[in-house]
Amino acid sequence: MARPGRPAMPKPDLHPLVDSFLDMLTAERGAAMNTRQAYWRDLADFSIYLRDKFKIELVDSSTDQIKTYLLDLGNKIHVKGKKRNQIATRTVARRLSALRQFYRYLVSENIRKDDPTTTIDSPKQTRTLPKTLSESEVSILIKTAGQGGGGDSVRLVCLLEMLYATGLRVSELVGLPMSAIGEDTQFLMVAGKGGRERMVPLSEPAQKAVKTYLDVRQQFIGPDDTGNQAQWLFPSRTSESGHLTRQRFAQLLKDLADRAEIDADRVSPHILRHAFATHLLSNGADLRSVQKMLGHADIATTQIYTHLVGDKVKKTVQEKHPLSKTGTDV
């Protein structure tokens, strides 16, 4: 999607094997649409680079050409300050991971005999702890959202209460179908990464916010809707998907942060997900329960939140939780 005020960039014609690879990710690994699009962008960037610099196609690249590309990629990232190296390292590591998956697919399909990425080491990344918000800051955001009045305010309160009560990924939240909510609104059925379903409980404030929002939900459905909008919990008259987009929700949160006099750089859907996990652990929640609610496949991913809580809570998790004795590294 192009940024507002900018024309959409022409979509390059990629090698047909890229589509075959992406179809495999969807069919065999249950990759979500966002994941598929991210792989497409990574492969498209490298494909354009190869055509411009070496006049060859993606399937014919060599190890040296990939190394040259990754080096150029890291050098061209323009970010000021200390964050530049972190962003460059993460970008290069993610792009290399996409290329590895693609070339392994070509080898598995006997399209190539060699994988040109096997001798390329991933850049070492320093672990950065997730950003989060305090409990009082979350309360201020919810209170400020409710001061707007009207349906938009009611919807924003509902989004905040649900996100803070469940820790859903933003794509999971905005893409919830109406069928995800039971009649009593006590639980959500969420389809997460890899097609894994999980049941997530809703807190009483979230249940109340949902019921209040459902009374005004109809105003977000266009009069000529053919059914595409009505199927979503958070419909939108302006998005192609028929539901509120991740980008729009993120912008609503930035605007809300300004009104609440909280640094907008510290407020995003993902940071609220971090706040959900951190506050649960701080109040004595079990690590495995938090893992299930977040939809993490690996407990090691959830364990990083123990580094954000106080020493006393961290010690409790390490001493009493059975999985902490496995020696799993975060």
187-203 average pLDDT score: 81
305-317 average pLDDT score: 54
Q: What is the pLDDT of residues 105-121, one digit of tens each?
A: 999 999 999 999 999 98
Residues 104 and 162 in one domain: no
The confidence band for 3, taking pLDDT boundaries of 50, 70 and 90, is: very low
Provide the residue range defining the domain that includes 42.
16-108
Residues 216 and 91 in one domain: no
Quick one: pLDDT at residue 123?
82
Give me the number of domains the chain comprises. 2
Quick one: pLDDT at residue 2?
43
- Of 40-54, 254-268, 277-291, 294-308, the range with the lowest mean pLDDT is 294-308
Residues 144 and 90 in one domain: no
| pLDDT at residue 138 is higher than 90 | yes
Task: Please give the positions annotated as active site.
Answer: 169, 193, 270, 273, 296, 305
Residues 142 and 103 in one domain: no
**Which among 148, 166, 130 has a CA at the least distance from the CA of 252?**
148
9-29 average pLDDT score: 86
The confidence band for 309, taking pLDDT boundaries of 50, 70 and 90, is: low
Quick one: pLDDT at residue 307?
60
23-49 average pLDDT score: 90
Residues in contact with 109: Cβ distance below 8 Å, sequence separation at least 6, in sequence order:
20
| pLDDT at residue 162 is higher than 60 | yes
Q: What is the CATH number of the domain that holds 210?
A: 1.10.443.10
The confidence band for 278, taking pLDDT boundaries of 50, 70 and 90, is: confident
Q: Answer for the pair 292, 196: CB distance below 8 angstroms, yes or no.
A: no
Residues 286 and 179 in one domain: yes
Average pLDDT across the chain, whole number: 83
